[in-house]
Structure 1
Amino acid sequence: MGFPVPGDAVEQTLDLNRHLARNPAATFFMTVDGKIQTDGEVQLGDVLVVDRSHHPKDGSLVVAVMAGEFHVLRIQHHRDTFIPAQMTWDPDSSISLQIWGVVTAIIRRV
């Protein structure tokens, strides 16, 4: 079962940059294959659209670098910085959290 689609409504090609990237020069597509701390929101194999020019906010989903490794996590504002929202974090620890970019879309196979 389905519904009719007019012939002119079907695109011949799909330009993901046009649809998903506000700033194509600062946007990257990354496949998730490792450190995920988002309570199932992001899954292995997902393709993340990450905008490095986008400013993070409280609750943003980000790609961050911790201890030299990329991680996907939600962040929360704490004092004058951001910390991971899903894990116990000592903001005074020697491990720094560096936000690499903000996730603006998730592409997932079904």
Structure 2
Amino acid sequence: MIDRLRREDVEGIEHLGTVAEASPWLLRHFTEVPCGFASPAEDYEESPIDLNTVVMDPHHREATYLVRAKGHSMTGAGINDGDELVVDRALEPRNGSIVIAVYQGKATCKRLRYMANGRPYLKAENPHYEDRVIAEGDEFEIWGVVRYALHKLI
């Protein structure tokens, strides 16, 4: 069942888009900024940086895409409603990885965990949402590991 899912058959995946083809997005880059008291001795600018090189593994360009988070089930992991998630399909999901998965034909973002018997489950990072244990025969596929969550602060 895992291999039969197609993007157009999955609810909630309509906004997937690749960032692998993105052109450089250069931003001015300053030295590290202390989160305590400012130091006047460190008041200079470094070379511009390309955000693609910050959030994307250069060896996984074709396997990297963005998806917009919807809902509040992952707020405990720092993922908020409306955040843009940078997802890498080339990374091997591990116990504890935050993943984009398709479960029973619906896309979801959850933490991947394994029970003592080896059965996977998808853990919500908000106590108001249920975890999903993957049963034998369920439609289940992991579509990538979340590397970054980009969100506005104001």
Task: Name the CA distance, whole Å, in 2 between partners of 1:94 and 1:58.
Answer: 21
TM-score (norm 2): 0.58
AA partner of residue 135 (structure 2): D
Q: Which residue of 2 aligns with 1:16?
A: 51
Q: Which residue of 2 aligns with 1:74?
A: 111
Shift of 1:91: 3.2
Q: State which of 65, 71, 76 in structure 2 corresponds to 1:28.
A: 65
Q: Which is richer in helix?
A: 2
When the two chains are superposed, the root-mean-square deviation of aligned CA atoms in Å is 2.4
Instruction: Please identify, of 20-29 and 72-81, the stretch whose mean Cα deviation from structure 2 is larger.
Output: 72-81
Higher RCO, 1 vs 2 (CA within 8 Å, ≥6 residues apart):
1
- The count of aligned residue pairs is 106
Which 4+ residue blocks in structure 1 deviate beyond 6 angstroms? none
Long gaps (5+) in structure 2: 1-36, 125-129
Bigger Rg over Cα? 2
Q: Which residue of 2 aligns with 1:85?
A: 123
Percentage of pairs with the same residue: 26
Change (3 A) 1:56 1:2: same
